[in-house]
Amino acid sequence: MELNSVKIHQNYEKILENVKKYSPYPEKVKILFVSKYLNVEEHKAVIDMGYDYFGENRAQLYRDKLNEFSDEKYKNIKWDFIGRLQKNKIKYIINSVNLVHSIDSYQLLEEINKKAIENNKTISGLIQINVSREESKTGVYIEDFKKDSEKYFSMSNVKIAGFMTMAPFDASEYEIDNYFSKMRELKEEYEKKYDYITELSMGMSNDYIEALKNGATIIRIGSKLFE
C-alpha cells in the first residue's frame, strides 16, 4: 500500500472535525486506527506520522506485529483487539492488549478471565452486542445480556468497560441510527449500575457519523484514512 502522509493527516483531521460537530461529548471520543491493512513497515511509517492507537483483528498477526514493535520507542503505543477472538488464541494477546472489543459470549469471557488469572493480568473488555440480530455476526443479543447481565460483571480479572457493536453494512441511515440508539440506551442503563462503564465502541468508516450522534466513545476507522 502506498501511504500518503499528507492525505492520511487530512482525512484524520476531517474525522476530528466531525467528532466535534456530531458527538455530544467530543472530548471523550477516541479514533481507533484500524491497522489490519498495514504490514510491519507500513505500520512503522504510520507510527512515525504520530499515530499511537491501533486496532488489530487477528490474534496471531497481532502477536507477530508486537514482536516487531518491542523497542523502547514503541512503549506508549496502545493496541486494542477488535476481531473475533478464538479461545485458543487468547494467549497471543493477553499480555499486551489495551482493550478487547469483541467479547462475544459469556464462555469467551470466562476463558479470557482464566487466562488473565494465569498471567496475573487484569484485562479491560467490551461485550459485543449483536444489536441487529444478524445470523452472520457473533455477539450477545440485548435481551439475553439483560437477563444475565450480573454474571458478565462478576469476573475477577476482566473489567467490562462497556459495549461494542457493528451495524449491518447494507443498512439504511435510519436503521443504523435505530441500532446505535439502542446501544446508547444500553450503555446509559448500565453505567448507572457500574461506574466503570465508560466506553461505547461503534461506527466504522461508513457509519461513524451516526455512531457519534449516538454517543460512541470509540470509532474504528480504517479505509476512510487512506482515501
CATH classification at residue 139: 3.20.20.10
| Span 170-194, pLDDT tens digits | 899 999 999 999 999 999 999 999 9
Q: Are the beta carbons of 196 and 152 closer than 8 angstroms?
A: no
Which helix (H) or strand (E) segment is 160 a member of? strand 158-164
Q: Which pLDDT value is given to residue 221?
A: 97
Q: In Å, how far are 10, 24, 39, 61, 81 from 64, measured between CA atoms?
A: 30, 38, 11, 5, 14
Q: In Å, how far are 24, 79, 97, 136, 207 from 51, measured between CA atoms?
A: 24, 12, 17, 32, 22
Average pLDDT over residues 43-57: 95
Distance CA 153, CA 56 (A): 25
| Span 90-147, pLDDT tens digits | 999 999 999 999 999 999 999 999 999 999 999 999 999 999 998 888 999 999 999 9
On the question of pLDDT at 1 being above 80, the answer is: no
Using DSSP's 3-state secondary structure scheme, residue 200 falls into: strand
Q: Which pLDDT value is given to residue 191?
A: 97
Average pLDDT over residues 12-25: 98
How many domains in the chain? 1
Q: Which pLDDT value is given to residue 136?
A: 81
Distance CA 159, CA 156 (A): 8
Q: Which domain covers residue 202, as residue numbers?
A: 5-225
Q: Are the beta carbons of 85 and 56 closer than 8 angstroms?
A: no
Q: Which pLDDT value is given to residue 137?
A: 87
> What pTM, to 2 d.p., does this model score?
0.95
